Every structure is written in structure tokens, then in C-alpha cells.
Structure 1
Amino acid sequence: MPSYAIIGGSRGLGLEFVRQLALDGDNIVLVTVRNKQRSPHLDDTVNQLPHNNVHILEADVVDHQAIKAAATEAGNITGSSLDVLIYNAARLEYDNLLRGLLDYDSEDQLDEEFMQSLKVNVLGSIHTVNAFLPLLRRGTAKKIIIVGTEGGERDFVRRARLSDMAAYGITKAAEHMVATKYAVALENEGFTVVSVSPGFVDVSDTKSELMSETNASKMNEIARRTFAAFPTQALLTTQVAVQRILADIRNIGPAESGAFRPSPELA
């Protein structure tokens, strides 16, 4: 049975990965959340699925011991193997997400936000791959997928004049390099390691916090600049974005390893 682990699946894209993968009864779907008791969207989705093939694991990606424990639990479920790892966790709290480098009230506040973003977006992905790698080595697909963003790519940032979202964009750029480093390190073992962009996706139906008027205004301005710079880009539903990524995951192989795969409208 093909096995998938989605790291960060309580809402948004991660939740849609769980839903779509679990619709195939032959799949084993593992999903991590920070708190099982505070994942209502995931609970509702799992309860509506036709198969009993989703396994929820509790682990915060900033806690590498918890991630190791989740990997051990995953191995007990799958028989000590894993085919595809999808790292979807990201730091996305609006008050911090939308700040540019000149928007912090103090240098200490800037340091704190960058360190927290680094722990989730960069170190979290590293600790997660390291923890699940023994299972992936015994899998058949040997695929590691990092959910990235054009916001971590220099050409996109320049064209969209995206000075906002500094901690997010800078640490996601570093996360893209994480994928490339693992691609090189694992190339002789037949692995495929890529970072992929879902595009510009509407995840408002499962958001975890209300957006203030100020933040909504900032987000609208970011969207305006982005669509002005890239008029072929469209606002996608989570269903469409995940369908495209899963199709890509099925088709890619070691020849594509190490690459950043942009959304089709921006390729």
C-alpha cells in the first residue's frame, strides 16, 4: 500500500492533501498536527472520508524529539517504510507574516520573528527529513516534497515588489536550499527531493485566526502587486492546487531532484 506523510495537515493545503490522498483506499495517510484536540477541520474531514486510512500523529516541528517520536509511530503503522514525505508546515501568523524588514517595532522583535520562522520553515524541515529518512529509505517511491513558494525566489520578489513578508520569504528561500542539499546528498540512493509551489491559493475557509482590517488591507495590496506583475496567475482553490501538486509528485523522478517547481502560471 502506498504510504504518505503530510507534515502540517490541520488546515489549508495540508488538510486538502489528506483529503485527496485518503480518497484512495489503497493509500496509508499519516498526518502530523501540533495538537490533536485543536484540529477541528481535520476531524471533520476524516469523519467524512469513505475509508479508515488516515492516522493522526501529534508533533510540533520545532520539537525534534516530538518529530522523532512521530516517525517511530509512523513506522509502526506502515511496517517501517514510507513512500512520500510532504513537508507542508510553515509559520503563517498574520501579524508577523506580513511585515517587511522595516516594519518591526524593535530589532529584538525582528530577531524573535526571524528565529521563530527559521525554526519552523528551515530547521523543522531538516529535523523532519532526518527523522523520516530511515522509513523513506525502505519505501519504494523515495520522494521528499517541500511545499515552497515563489515568495522565496528572487526574481518573483523583484517583479512583484514584494518587500513585505520578509521573515517568511527569506526563510522559505533557505528552505528551498534545504531541498537542494538533500537532493545532492541522496542522489545515489534514487531519491527525488524537490520544493514545489502551490501558486496563489485561497485557504480562508480553514484559517485559524481572523484577519484584522489592517492586515486584510496589506494582504490585498500584496495580491494587487502580485497579479499586476504576473497577470497570468490565478487565485486557486486548495482542491485545484493540491490536485496539480499530486499529479506532479506522481510524474517526477530523480532527474528533477533538487529543483524548485513553480506554479504552472509562473513557470
Structure 2
Amino acid sequence: MPTTVVVGASRGIGYQFIQTIAAAQGNTVIATARNVVNLENKVRADKIPNTHVVQADLTSADAMKAAAKATSSLVNGQIDHLIINGAFLSSTGGMNPTDFADKPELFLEELKKSDEANIAGPLFAINAFLPLLRAGKEKRVTYISSGVADVPETIETRITNSVPYSASKAGGNIIITKFAAELQDEGFTFLSIAPGAVATETLMDTSNLTDKEKAKMQVMFGRMMQKYPEWKGPISPEESVKRILSVVKNSKAEQSGQFLSYWGNTTQWL
């Protein structure tokens, strides 16, 4: 019976991972969240089978170790797949690098929060769950990254905003690559995968953006549509998760450490 741990499962594609994986016959899911009660209530209300909820905070190594210990008692000390979805998305997403010229303290504050969740977080999570992964059969780790962390895509579509988030996601990617390099001889497959533009509450809510920042976003989306003329806009969490899991399933051991799009390549990010 395959067992998957989803770190950061309370909403968006994290919650969709629970629904999709648990629905597959025989799969067991361990879902982590900072607020256990809220997630347990959602899982119960939606009648999601084969799912256990465990408390965890991605920014705390001790919390992740405690989550792994609690998980071990539920799954006989082994898991097959660790999905790291939790992340910090800075409220300065509408700002370009030069917008921080007179706001260095704001940049440092947002960068620190981003790095704690998006760089240190995956390292904490992997180290905590590594003994359980070593005991499992599939030995897969998937880090949910973002297309805004890709260098060629940033240049081609001139993605100038989301500076702390982009930088920290790029940092998270290299953490995954470092683990892949270190554990290459143990049969692990580590992947960073960008989920595409997904119609979650976080992406669709622009209430915290100024009119100037909204205008910048529209310009950026316009450039994206020039590169991807067939793009119809953000996809559903269900479609994103379906594609991500397909990439994971079809990945080869020699791809361990790579950063891929939800199409399974390094060129098509939407």
C-alpha cells in the first residue's frame, strides 16, 4: 500500500494532493498542517478516505521531526513519497527589484520569511522524513517549486516581480539538487516541479495589490500570452496535481535533482 506524506496540505494544490492521491485505490496519505483541527474538519466534511492529519510547521526543524515521529507510528516506519508543498508567498509580490531601492528593510524581512519556508523548509522536511523514505519502496521526494524560479523563463517573459519568492524558490530547487547528488547511490528520485499558474485563492486574490502593481501584473501576463498563445489562463488545482503526479510517475532515476515543469520539461512552464 503506497504511502504519501503531503507537507502543507491545508489548502490549494496541497489539499488537492490529498483528494487525488487518497482517491486512488490503496493509497494512504499523511497530510500535515499547522492548524490540525481545521484540516481534519475539511477532510471529514469531504469524506476523503485513507488520510491522517499531523501537525507540522515547515519552518521548524523540531516540528518536522515531531511530524515524522507521529507519521512513523501511523505507517509502520516507512513512506514512499514525500511531497513538499508548503511555502511562504510574500505580500510584496507586485514589486520589482528597483521598487525596493528605498525599502531595504522590507526586502530583508520578506526575503528572510521566504528563505525560512522555501529553502530551509524543504531541507528540514527531507531530513526529518529521510529514515521513513529509506525504509520505503519508491523513495521519491517532490518539491513544489514555481516557474518564476526558472532563469530562461524569467528573461523570455520578463517576470520582474515576486522577487523574494522567486529567489527563495530557486534556492529551494538547489536544495533538492544537493540531496539528489548526496543520495544518488541510494535509489532516490528527487524532483522540483513547477505546478503552472493555478487558480487558487492565493493567485486569484489581488486585493492586496495597488493599481500600479495590478497594471504591472497585466503587462507580465500579456508577455506570457505572447509566448504561450494557446494558454487560456490559470488551470484548476485538480488539473495541476494530475499533471504533477504524472511527471513524478513517469520520471526516471537519472532525472533526480532536476527542475521540471508540470509538462515534464524545462521549456514549457504554462
Normalised to the residue count of structure 1, the TM-score between the two structures is: 0.90
Corresponding position of 1:21: 21
- Deviation of 1:259 after TM superposition, in Å, equals 1.1
| Separation in structure 2 between the aligned mates of residue 207 and residue 76 of structure 1, nearest angstrom | 36
Corresponding position of 2:223: 225
Greater CA deviation, 252-261 or 129-138?
A: 252-261
Q: 1:145 to 1:157 in 2, by over 3 A?
A: same
Instruction: Note the alpha carbon deviations across 1:194-242, whole angstroms, 9 max, x for none.
Output: 11111111113x7797723526555444322322233344421111110
| Separation in structure 2 between the aligned mates of residue 208 and residue 67 of structure 1, nearest angstrom | 30
Corresponding position of 2:246: 247
Q: 1:10 to 1:218 in 2, by over 3 A?
A: farther
Matches within 5 A, 1:175-186: 175-186=172-183
| Separation in structure 2 between the aligned mates of residue 241 and residue 13 of structure 1, nearest angstrom | 8
- For residue 60 of structure 1, the aligned residue among 35, 39, 57 is 57
Corresponding position of 1:144: 141
Instruction: Note the alpha carbon deviations across 1:139-167, whole angstroms, 9 max, x for none.
Output: 00000001111110110000111110101
Matches within 5 A, 1:76-155: 76-93=73-90, 95-104=91-100, 105-155=102-152
Asked if 2 retains the 8 angstrom alpha-carbon contact of 1:90 and 1:121, the reply is yes
Report the secondary structure of 2:58's partner residue.
coil
Instruction: Note the alpha carbon deviations across 1:146-197, whole angstroms, 9 max, x for none.
Output: 1111110110000111110101111111111111111111110000001111
Q: 1:20 to 1:167 in 2, by over 3 A?
A: same
| Separation in structure 1 between the aligned mates of residue 221 and residue 196 of structure 2, nearest angstrom | 12
Q: 1:43 to 1:227 in 2, by over 3 A?
A: farther
Structure 2 unpaired stretches of 5+: none
| Separation in structure 2 between the aligned mates of residue 9 and residue 261 of structure 1, nearest angstrom | 21
- Deviation of 1:22 after TM superposition, in Å, equals 1.0
Corresponding position of 1:8: 8
Asked if 1 retains the 8 angstrom alpha-carbon contact of 2:19 and 2:48, the reply is no
Normalised to the residue count of structure 2, the TM-score between the two structures is: 0.89
Q: 1:183 to 1:233 in 2, by over 3 A?
A: farther
Greater CA deviation, 76-85 or 208-217?
A: 208-217
Asked if 2 retains the 8 angstrom alpha-carbon contact of 1:19 and 1:46, the reply is no
Q: 1:152 to 1:236 in 2, by over 3 A?
A: same
Computed over aligned residues only, the root mean square deviation of the Cα atoms, in angstroms, reads 2.2
Asked if 2 retains the 8 angstrom alpha-carbon contact of 1:46 and 1:54, the reply is no
Kindly indicate whether residue 161 of structure 2 is the aligned counterpart of residue 164 of structure 1.
Answer: yes
Asked if 1 retains the 8 angstrom alpha-carbon contact of 2:206 and 2:214, the reply is no
| Separation in structure 1 between the aligned mates of residue 261 and residue 75 of structure 2, nearest angstrom | 31
- Deviation of 1:102 after TM superposition, in Å, equals 2.1
Q: 1:213 to 1:171 in 2, by over 3 A?
A: closer
Asked if 2 retains the 8 angstrom alpha-carbon contact of 1:151 and 1:169, the reply is yes
Corresponding position of 1:36: 36
Report the secondary structure of 2:89's partner residue.
coil
Corresponding position of 1:211: 207
Q: 1:210 to 1:220 in 2, by over 3 A?
A: closer
Identity %: 29
Corresponding position of 1:187: 184
- Deviation of 1:50 after TM superposition, in Å, equals 5.3
| Separation in structure 1 between the aligned mates of residue 205 and residue 150 of structure 2, nearest angstrom | 27
Report the secondary structure of 2:30's partner residue.
strand
Aligned residues: 262
